[in-house]
Structures are given as structure tokens and as C-alpha cells.
Structure 1
Amino acid sequence: MSPALQRTTCSTPINRRRHLRFPITAHAEYLLQGRRCAAVTRDVGSGGILIESTDVLPVGELVELCMDWPRRLDGRCPLRLVVAGEVLRSTSRGTAIRILRYEYRLAPKAPPDLQKLDQEAGKLARSS
């Protein structure tokens, strides 16, 4: 390789995505062919979401994905991001979903026993 080419070679990988992705890890679930399954988001952007689940999803399938949004509305109300998307690729390492439509919804209120557990977990986290 000529010295001129060596100087212009970049060791940092180039991000060719059209949309920025953000490393957001959150509980999610998807609905595919009438079946609801648990997942975890790994990164989220305006064009797509990368999730991990126990399934390898069929490429080209339409899915509905709901994820817990990391911020609350007015600092109080939990939100969920609801996405209609298409599976772009899926392996045992993760599934990439292209976002076709999305909306934010208020998250359903947790049953009282779960609320109490959440409060206790919050107290433990603050005292650590």
C-alpha cells in the first residue's frame, strides 16, 4: 500500500445509517402473528430499533413493538413507545426493526403490589 493511501485510511468504523441511534436498554414486548413475546431494546433511533429476544424473527414480517420509554411525561406519567415496524434482519444476536409508524402512549398503571415493589426498589437504590 502506498504511503499516501496509508495516511488516508481511517481506523474508526464509518456509521452509514441515515438516522442516529441511541443506546437505550429498556423492557419491550412485540406482537408477531398473534403471539406476544418479551424483548429488550439495545438501541433506538427515529428510523429503527435493535432488540434482543429469544426468537429469530422472519425477515420482512410486520411487527408491533411496545417499549417502556426512559423518560416520564411531566416527570410523573410513565410512557410507552408503540411502533409498527418491519423486521429487516434477525439473528441470535439481535433483531433490527425498521420503524414504519410510531406513537407515544401513557403506560398502564401497575397493580398496587407492583407499585409497592417499585417503591421499595427505589428506596434500596437510593440508599446504596
Structure 2
Amino acid sequence: MTELSYPILIYDNLCYSCTRWAKIANGFVKGKCLIVGHYTPLGKEIKKQLFPKDYDGLEMSWFIIGGHAFGGRAGLFRLIRYILLEPKKGAFPKNEFNLTECSTDCKTVKGVLLRSYSVVARYKKFSLLDN
């Protein structure tokens, strides 16, 4: 396992709603974690190094901290806990958001509701030490 210097939030950078959510999360974390898209070269490399073999994790966003990856609802709860309780330690990279394409209906009310439901309904957690 690669030792993490700071927490990482991975989101769907090809989705308008998910990118908006990541920007909002970025405002709350105030530079205390790296936020990266699933489909970016860095996001793909992080998942390749940390996620189980043959698992891409595209079905939900992920918060990676302390040797564990928290997906969906687990990631949201862990991110909130991190925002509220963890002090900023050291320097973190600046997060950038580039939405280049959105091929789904994620800008519609239905799309936003479906994605919001997906975050609450899905839950996954695994140890990075097992990979």
C-alpha cells in the first residue's frame, strides 16, 4: 500500500451534479484534502494503486483516509467527520475542477435526485491494507 500524505476525495468528474458536489465539498474542507475525478489520469492512478484488483469504484464517490476507503454514504459521513474534527496539517495541493463533458441527465431535477439518492443508498468500505 502507498502511504497517503493527505486524505483524498474521488468523485465523478464527468457528471455536472457530482462536480458541483465536489466543489461544495472543496469549500468545506478548506484545502485539507485532495479532490480528484474518477476519470482524470491522477484519479485512475490512485484507484489502480489503492483499490482492490479489477475494481474501479465508479458507482460512487470515495473518501480515502487513514488506511481505509469509504464509498457512498460511508464516505459522506467520514468526510463530514473529517471536516468538523480534523485540524489542517501541512500543505495540500490546490484542487481544480474541469467539467469537460456530461453525457447524462445529471443537470435535471430527476438526475440530481437520483444521484443524491445514490449517495445515501450505497455504502462500501474496505481497508487499503488488504490490497
| TM norm structure 1 | 0.24
Larger Rg: 1
Q: Larger RCO: Structure 1 or Structure 2 (Cα < 8 Å, ≥ 6 residues apart)?
A: 2
Q: Which has the higher strand share?
A: 1
